Amino acid sequence: MNLNRVRVNSVSATAWAETGATLGELYYAVGRSSQSSSLAFSGGSCSTIGLGGVISGGGFGLLSRKFGLAADNVLDAVLIDPNGRILDRSSMGEDVFWAIRGGGGGSWGVVYAWKLRLVPVPNNVTVFIVDRTGPVEYIARMVDTWQFVGPKLPDEFYLSVYFPTGSSDGNISISFEGQVLGTKQHTLSVLSQRFPMLGVTESDLSEISWVESIAKFANVDVVSDLPNRWLGAKSYSKSKSDYVKAPIPRHDMVEIVRHLSSGPPGSIILDPYGGTMARIGSGETPFPH
């Protein structure tokens, strides 16, 4: 028993999803049900992660700068409390409903299902993955510039940085990954003004549907594979997350990049907040904005 059913109501722009559904199963159901109405859900890009863990932990993703976290888009829930009672938002009370969205799971009972707010997106979004290679100082300057650009772009922009450890002939490679709720022309116009150093060109950009963009960033070959719970061979890694409250000084960024150029196998991902994320009050959910 997977408890992974998803029911989408395109008219009310909502979905009921059982807590055992993966993000991929949810996205596939939303994309299939809203081909003409262009609805989406604001969650992460890892398609095999379970919805219960995503929402109870917050759920940051490509749409969060525009629409907030997954936890910010929960309208109701079905909770089984320690006494075996089945409770909805009204019967569990607003304090408990607040606590189950973004503060960690397993504290107040077992969430059986979530009622989710679906958000409007264009028929097509713009996506890109731009690779840049250069010496330590050049890469550090690009990442330093991103610190002042990524979190301050218009809400419809998501622009992250990915850089693995290691170097080749003294050069380091990094990737800038982006999704924009708008056209290629809009994307080029904004990035050419805000981040000219990145040098994005029209040939770097693709306009595809929202659900196709989810498949792209989840490294899934086709949309129909999103519900799959096993994607290729298993891999194992150790990860740590942290918050950077202020831009890292340029000289420190140079040393970070220099260290990564000769470090053991690994990588760093820098995600931008800002936008709606910066406007949601810290007390709206228990998630540490």
Summarize pLDDT for 75-118 with one digit per residue, the tens.
Answer: 999 999 999 999 999 999 999 999 999 988 777 899 999 999 99
| 165 part of a folded domain | yes
| 286 part of a folded domain | no
Looking at 91, 121, 151, which one is the last position of a domain? 121
| 142 part of a folded domain | yes
Looking at 121, 146, 171, which one is the last position of a domain? 121
| 284 part of a folded domain | no
Same domain, yes or no, for 96 and 181? Answer: no
Same domain, yes or no, for 80 and 222? Answer: no
Looking at 77, 95, 121, which one is the last position of a domain? 121
The pLDDT tens digits of the residues spanning 185-235 come to 999 999 999 999 999 999 999 999 999 999 999 999 999 999 998 877 778
Using alpha carbons only, what angle is made at residue 19 by residues 7 and 22, rounded to the nearest 5 degrees?
Answer: 80
Distances (CA, A) of 197 to 71, 174, 186: 35, 14, 17
Same domain, yes or no, for 114 and 142? Answer: no
Same domain, yes or no, for 260 and 173? Answer: yes
Q: Which of 11, 13, 8, 7 is nearest to 120 (CA)?
A: 13
| 231 part of a folded domain | no
Same domain, yes or no, for 251 and 161? Answer: yes
**What's the rounded Cα separation, in Å, for the pair 145 and 137?**
12
**Can you give the pTM of this predicted structure?**
0.94
Domain extent, residue 209, equals: 125-226+242-277
The answer to whether the beta carbons of residues 257 and 140 sit under 8 Å apart is: yes
Instruction: Name the E strands within 139-281.
Output: 157-164, 172-180, 206-208, 267-270
Tally of structural domains, the chain: 2
- Tell whether the model's pLDDT for residue 127 goes beyond 90: yes
Same domain, yes or no, for 160 and 270? Answer: yes
Same domain, yes or no, for 83 and 26? Answer: yes
**What's the rounded Cα separation, in Å, for the pair 119 and 6?**
16
